[in-house]
Amino acid sequence: MENDLKGRNKSWVEISKRALFHNVGVFRKSVGKNVKIAAVVKANAYGHGLKEVVPLLKNKVDVLAVDNIDEGMLIRQIDKQIPVLILGYTTLANLSDPIENDISFVVYNIESLKKIVSLKLKKPAKIHLKIETGLNRQGVQRKYLPVFLKFLKEHKNNFMLEGIYTHYANIEDTLDPSFAVKQLAEFNKSLKIVREGGFNPPLIHTAASAGTLLYSETHFSMVRVGFGMYGWWMSLETRVSLLALKRNLVLKPVLTWKSLIAQIKHIDIGESVGYGQTWFATRRTKIAIIPVGYSDGYDRKLSNIGRVIINGHYANVIGRVAMNMIVADITDIKNVKLEDEVALLGNKDGLKVSADEIAKKIGTINYEVVSRINPLLPRIIV
């Protein structure tokens, strides 16, 4: 089946089951047995393929976290039992869906609570209150928390306060944890208010991948592991901080994005390649046409600066990246044949094109590089 999928597709993404399990093990060891792990599979599992990754994680993690109800319902098609948590906004019109499908979700607007009561559903809503501690995105500010708790008490049959949490603004891309410490202190003040108000939510969580690895005081009863679980480092600062703690942890990239060679040809000195004639041959040049482009998520800013792996060698991308095509210089690579594999991102033949390398070239972060890979491309478990 794997070879058949490769043979029928111009571009595909390979997902290493062994690497994924290794990374989950790294985080499990970091938190111990008594802390739950919520695996974040939003944005098509950060480009790795939600439908492919979820079955692999089923017996490896405790909760699956997504951004929206559509992702939650996709998981429910795959598995009816595994706990699912929506971290993003659920519109008022969609509030009945997570309740009826046993999906937990975040609430931070009083209007959402009022709408849930008005639905008069037979099941209580399993909610997580998100606390605003300094990121200043979605979340309940501490001064308004008593209003939410009062409403929940007045309508206790409509709600199960399953969780309370926050998210850090500056914990992964800095060597200075002082702002995260302030946020943690703010969160603990809110947590005290919740407990004094008569609530004891079982799922208390503040840490994402970097916090999970660096600061045990952020663990509470659950951590949210996303990007790191797929084998990508959140930042250079996170790695440096771990090394300073004498913890040389190894994360293994789960994803390799591949294509193939659709044509091989020679061009003469002075001939150009691609739209806009941005590259000219200074020698007789052998080129490979690769049927992948920016519509697939291969960024146009990689024009003339990207590189791919072909037959154990790096090959430079020449000319502009088009919607469905790139061109590579293979003049110095021997024995290249039609439909030979090309690694666009990931490890192959002992070489590596990392998400960090691509991110640096195009002026973004590694998160964006992998999460933008077209979800229509097939994902293959290897």
**Tens of pLDDT along 13-24?**
999 999 999 999
pLDDT over 70 at 348, yes or no: yes
Residue pair 61/39 in contact (Cβ under 8 Å)? The answer is yes
**Nearest-angstrom CA–CA distance, 129 and 148:** 9
Residue 114 has pLDDT above 70, yes or no: yes
Residues 6+ apart with CB under 8 A from 45: 52, 53, 54, 230
- Report, in this order, helix, strand and coil percent for the chain, each rounded to 5: 35, 25, 40
Interhelix angle 69-78/50-57, rounded to 10 degrees, is: 60
Region 336-342 average pLDDT: 97
| Locus of tokens 């597709």 | 9
Q: How confident is the model at residue 319 (pLDDT cuts 50, 70, 90)?
A: very high
- Whether 24 and 230 have beta carbons less than 8 Å apart is answered as no
Annotated active-site positions, please? 42, 275
CA distance readout (Å), 68 to 14, 151, 367, 368: 25, 24, 18, 18
pLDDT for the residue 4: 62
pTM of the model: 0.93
Quote the pLDDT of residue 248: 84
Residue 329 carries which side chain, given as an amino acid letter? D
User: Is pLDDT above 80 for 366?
Assistant: yes
| Mean pLDDT of the chain, nearest integer | 95
Indicate whether 3 pLDDT > 90: no
Let me know if 322 is exposed, middle or buried by CB neighbors in 10 A (0-12, 13-18, 19+): middle
pLDDT digits (tens, 9 = 90+) for 145-177: 999 999 999 999 999 999 999 999 988 878 888
| pLDDT for 297 | 98
Task: Yes or no: say if 325 and 367 are a contact pair by the CB < 8 Å rule.
Answer: no
For 231-247, write each residue's pLDDT tens digit.
999 888 888 888 888 88
Cα maximum dimension of the chain: 79
Contact between 26 and 251 under an 8 Å Cβ cutoff? The reply is: yes
pLDDT at 5 over 80: no
Q: Residue 2 — very low, low, confident or very high, per pLDDT cuts 50/70/90? A: low
Higher pLDDT, 248 or 184: 184
Extract the tokens encoding 228: 């790191």
Q: Which string of DSSP letters, residue by residue, matches 101-144?
A: TT-EEEE--HHHHHHHHHH--SSPEEEEEEBPSSS-SSSB-GGG
Q: Which residue has the tokens 């309508």?
A: 155
Domains and CATH numbers, the chain: 17-244 (3.20.20.10), 255-381 (2.40.37.10)
Q: What is the pLDDT of residues 190-217, one digit of tens each?
A: 999 999 999 999 999 999 999 999 999 9
Tokens of 42: 């939003």
